[in-house]
Amino acid sequence: MKVFLSKYIGFCEGVRRSIAMSYDEIRKANGNVYTDGDLVHNSRTLDRLAYAGIHKLQDDQSLPKNCDSIIVRAHGVTPARRKMLGALGCRVIDATCPKVLRIAGLIKKYSNEGFHILLAGKADHPEIIGLCGYAPDEKITVLSSAREVSNLKTCSEKIIVLSQTTFESEVFEEIANAVLKRFKDATVKNTICSSTINRQREILDFIQSGCDCIIVVGSKFSNNTKSLYNTATANGCHSLIIKNSQDPELANTKKYNCIGITSGASTDYQDAYEIYERLLLVSE
């Protein structure tokens, strides 16, 4: 069995930044440090943060009296949520990924210029929920597939297509093409982040190199992890989402001849490398 390891495994820049900011804050804080929901979508990473003393504040949870600071998750929040957090009386640390903030700025800009924003992504994902807060409800529509474009009402406004940072590139292209076919003057800006694009492209390279299975190391709750899984399966390759080197699903890999290993953007490098080492032992 051949085993290939992605050169893009480990945290993306945005996740690495948010984690570093969180550890820095726990060193400086006089009281408890909370994150506004899950900082990232990876259970092992969250367990490590909790061990360091960084707690998660649920949406319906009252703020503890000894809270020193709240960290805004890497996915970002709505302006209204940010204002609410600021009114709680403790320090707010904005760990939103800069690439998400860039999209938020584009949504605000184009909404103010009279555009209707078509945002490609998963409607229930925290990033999309946060981004939708930067335009009035009637000025923004979330699309998860090209099929949904036919349901759009005829629009006299100018249209721009943007994307969630971790969306599947192939699905975004399908949506963009469907929009341009129906609204020929629409503007398209691919705002999928480079980390996501690079990982998705490398999966296609693995498949072209003969891999018959792609292992995506990460959490099944992570959208970028699922996007990588979907990229592999959409291109006819078996894929597995593996949590860590102790995951029992690793036993199902012996039947494959060539395996490519990649990881979600919120997965630690070590978690992916341990799986690589374990499979190398099996392949010898």
pLDDT tens track for 172-226: 999 999 999 999 999 999 999 999 999 999 999 999 999 999 999 998 888 889 9
pLDDT tens track for 9-64: 999 999 999 999 999 999 988 778 999 988 888 888 888 899 999 988 876 556 66
* Distances from the Cα of 278 to the Cα of 207, 251, 269, angstroms: 21, 11, 14
Which of 11, 125, 276, 70 lies closest to 143 in space, CA to CA?
Answer: 125
State the Cα angle at 40 between 76 and 191, rounded to 5°: 50
pLDDT tens track for 6-18: 999 999 999 999 9
Reading across the β-sheet that carries 258-263, which strands appear in turn? 2-5, 258-263, 213-217, 238-242
Helix H or strand E segment including 259: strand 258-263
From the candidates 13, 25, 113, 127, which is the catalytic residue? 127
Task: Give phi and psi for 228, each to the nearest 5.
Answer: -65, -40
Does the annotation mark 168 as catalytic?
no
